[in-house]
Structure 1
């Protein structure tokens, strides 16, 4: 079992005003990771970014970061990268939904390996999770925890973090909403747009009242940086700028952007329109970030999702 030294906590909010860190970032050339790298470099931190390809390595070098060649399957390379740095931000994940449970369990092993590399120190590890794991009949908060990985596979990542914290590790969870939006997004919103193009109609399920929280990727990146610099006692954070946008509103904006009709789908119609994505299109996970805002002093500054669903960004 990996063990950690518990060290007296200091006021990092004050200390890090003058302290620059070297940060190992996985997923550093990705949509969210690249924004984090930009934020860290702008604030004077150094970045060692995991690069799976030569193209990713070159992108990191052009941004002003250092590339660390390797991938999520090579745990030794991950540990080598983490061991060189003052902190780790983990955003990479294998989004092959045909083997989703396996990818989730692999992420658990990645997190435990990163934690092992940081063992014996108070160096922070920030791990990415998703708000979509939580389902309540109310706004979910940072205090809510998902069901076990047995029934909710993606919970494996959070379980790994709680395991590290229980052993004295300085680890954090940052939950992202179903949509992290901005130009260059290749996540859920582009998928929904492509389905509308394919079927000639922009659709929602039932009345479309299920809600998706949202955040601009630059605002999300700032939250990662604030956790890194402040290292508060709170362990779970929500990067949520908008608590819950009805899916019908999203579908309506997409219909307008594509000049297509908008309609609700029953169970069979939703299956035909969304296919494997139906589960995600039906998610209702309105979420609060009140505690995260209060702890970190985080205030979203960038446009909301509806403002981004315009020509030049998504169309």
Structure 2
């Protein structure tokens, strides 16, 4: 298949493109400007995803599409609405799969009961617009839509985790690794390359209207992750007052404090997804 992937330079988009190429598909991927690095074998397409109809032309020439791009700012919801609307119009009445990147944050705090695809929504403010986008996809009965809700994505030193847990000067000649709050909350996570494999499987065989959580089934306690990083660089792991953290991370703090346990049993059973990359703590210790 010829597949369009938005956000080729991003952690998820790049992993999806690589997985599709490995499985023999032809991939066109959007980038913001000429000269941006792209995975080998992928055709870059410079596009302003905020522009109305920016992808309407190429949508007619592909067999499937994956929306993995994000502006990672206050315009993220606007970008999703624009891209989703384009593909719902372009793919209407066809069998072309359109895969949308949602997120596990949609389910809020889960407690000890593992979230599933049917768990209620309780999104933090940073993704408060996302339920409406998912509803738009669910309501589009004449389009082959697929929704994937990844946990926190890691791999290759990219994603929020290494940014949040990066060593900092402690002001006393040493280093400190700070986790927001006391670190007792749990993150459900997924390696980018495992996630890419799931997207490729979804493009190939997920039924219309399907939705999948994408995470390894064993969550990671945040204080354990920060200690691994601290031990590796000879730093001290330290609690970070959420009020102080908000000066740097703004509305993201609420999301980083979520305590989430989730299961990807549905993706494993229906699509044959088998995550196999190194777990987060191992990657943090060795990368």
TM-score calculated relative to the size of structure 2: 0.88
Q: CA deviation at 1:172?
A: 0.7
Does residue 94 of structure 1 match 2:94? no
Secondary structure in 2 matching 1:262: strand
The count of aligned residue pairs is: 280
Which segment drifts farther, 237-246 or 152-161?
152-161
1:290 corresponds in structure 2 to 265
Q: Give the CA RMSD over aligned residues.
A: 2.4
Secondary structure in 2 matching 1:77: coil
- In 2, the alpha carbon distance for the partners of 1:211 and 1:162 equals 29
Deviations 1:65-121 (A, max 9, x none): 22222121123221112211000011001102xxx2x42133123201111111120
1:120-135 superposed matches below 5 A:
120-135=93-108
Contact map agreement 2:201 2:271 (CA 8 A) in 1: yes
2:26 corresponds in structure 1 to 46
Contact map agreement 1:232 1:295 (CA 8 A) in 2: no
The 1:272–1:80 alpha-carbon spacing in structure 2 relative to 1, beyond 3 Å, is closer
Secondary structure in 1 matching 2:207: coil
Contact map agreement 2:107 2:119 (CA 8 A) in 1: yes
Contact map agreement 1:202 1:262 (CA 8 A) in 2: yes
- In 2, the alpha carbon distance for the partners of 1:161 and 1:268 equals 36
1:8-23 superposed matches below 5 A:
21-23=1-3
Which segment drifts farther, 256-265 or 246-255?
256-265
The 1:268–1:147 alpha-carbon spacing in structure 2 relative to 1, beyond 3 Å, is closer
Structure 1 unaligned regions, length at least 5: 1-20
Structure richer in helix, relative to its length: 1
The 1:118–1:144 alpha-carbon spacing in structure 2 relative to 1, beyond 3 Å, is same
Secondary structure in 1 matching 2:274: coil
Contact map agreement 1:238 1:288 (CA 8 A) in 2: yes
Does residue 183 of structure 1 match 2:180? no
TM-score calculated relative to the size of structure 1: 0.81
2:40 corresponds in structure 1 to 63
